[in-house]
Amino acid sequence: MNRTLSKIVYFTDTITGSIGHFMENISVMLTSTVFILLTASLTRDTIMDVFTWPIILFVIIMLFLVRPLSIWISTIGTELTLQEKTLVGWIAPRGVVALTVSGYFAGLLIEDGYPNASILTPLTLALVFITVCAHGFSIGPIARKLGLANTNSSGVVMVGASSFSIAFAQHLKDMGASVLITDTSDDQLYRARKFGIPTYHGEILSEHSDFEVDMTPYDTILAMKGDAAYNALVCQTYIPEFGYHNTFSLPIGTSQVEHREIPSALKANLLFEEGATFTELNKKVNIGYTFHTIEINSKQTLLKEKRKSKGIPLCIKRKNGNLVFVTFKEKPLLDEGDQLVVLELEK
């Protein structure tokens, strides 16, 4: 029954996601078409008028005076900090709406006997073009300068609060990585909270999670519940957000029927090595296996290091802080300065 329900939910979610992607692509095409239609009537002389000093001065005043001043006035008494007000005052959302409105009113004014109103559309086009370029290239450096950019190392979302995932999350947290464990069982999450691990109590597949969970600090998701169909559904749901190469699933057990029934294409990247399944890893943690970090001093293969440690290699923390997880298909090379995380029995 659970297997059938998971499949129904999966196909429903797949259809909904496909419709969402289709609507998003259509909206991009229509928006691009609107830009083409609005600017198609502009003559070469009108476009050249955009690069005159009066218009350039107008754009500069809009960028550095009008927009920041309007934001500062409208945010008086709010909880926004000085840095947040500065960033919002610099990043101005201007685009197809501004062009459409200006083109509409320009036509009305020309009909009413104001021929100079024809400058409205190129004026707005200049404002949109310059602000998109200026803001697009500057938002990153300015956000970092103001302390509003995320500077944490790779973050990981773990779906499922089992003995293994909690211990694994605690070790990654101690290494400086941002970790979040999600589960529908508050009792399971209670064990994670005791170690100071951030948690989310709720269904990660529900629409409410989009509003309740901030995914900004995380760039990788690990589906590690004890249900292969559920893990596949989580991966397929979050592949558009995290990307295929950052979406991983933990095998349940090679003997389980539901694991064999799920096509390989729906399992995302299968974590760790063959035999390191949900059942086995939790069993090892419960009987005393612990996580260890091995400092890599020279370039070598993962197999060579595994032979020395005799543990199960799980992931690698690169010198730049990024986490690379070991999978069935990919055994990443080790470089000097990397840190290899393994699960092995305490010596």
User: Above 80 in pLDDT, residue 255?
Assistant: no
Alpha carbon distance 281, 38 (integer Å) = 60
Bigger pLDDT: 347 vs 155: 155
In the chain, the amino acid numbered 275 is: G
User: Do the Cβ atoms of 273 and 303 come closer than 8 Å?
Assistant: no
pLDDT tens-place string over residues 128-169:
778 878 888 888 888 888 887 766 657 889 998 888 999 999
Instruction: Give backbone dihedrals phi and psi of 160, rounded to 5 degrees, phi first.
Output: 115, 120
pTM: 0.64
Is the C-alpha dihedral spanning 230, 236, 241, 246 positive or negative?
Answer: positive
pLDDT tens-place string over residues 256-298:
444 445 555 555 688 887 788 888 888 988 888 888 888 887 7
Query: What's the whole-number average pLDDT of the chain?
Result: 78
Alpha carbon distance 340, 4 (integer Å) = 39
Report the Cα 267 to chain-centroid distance in Å: 20
DSSP-assigned letters across all residues of 211-258:
HH---TT--EEEE--S-HHHHHHHHHHHHHHH-GGGEEE----TT-HH
Alpha carbon distance 275, 326 (integer Å) = 13
pLDDT tens-place string over residues 329-339:
777 777 777 88
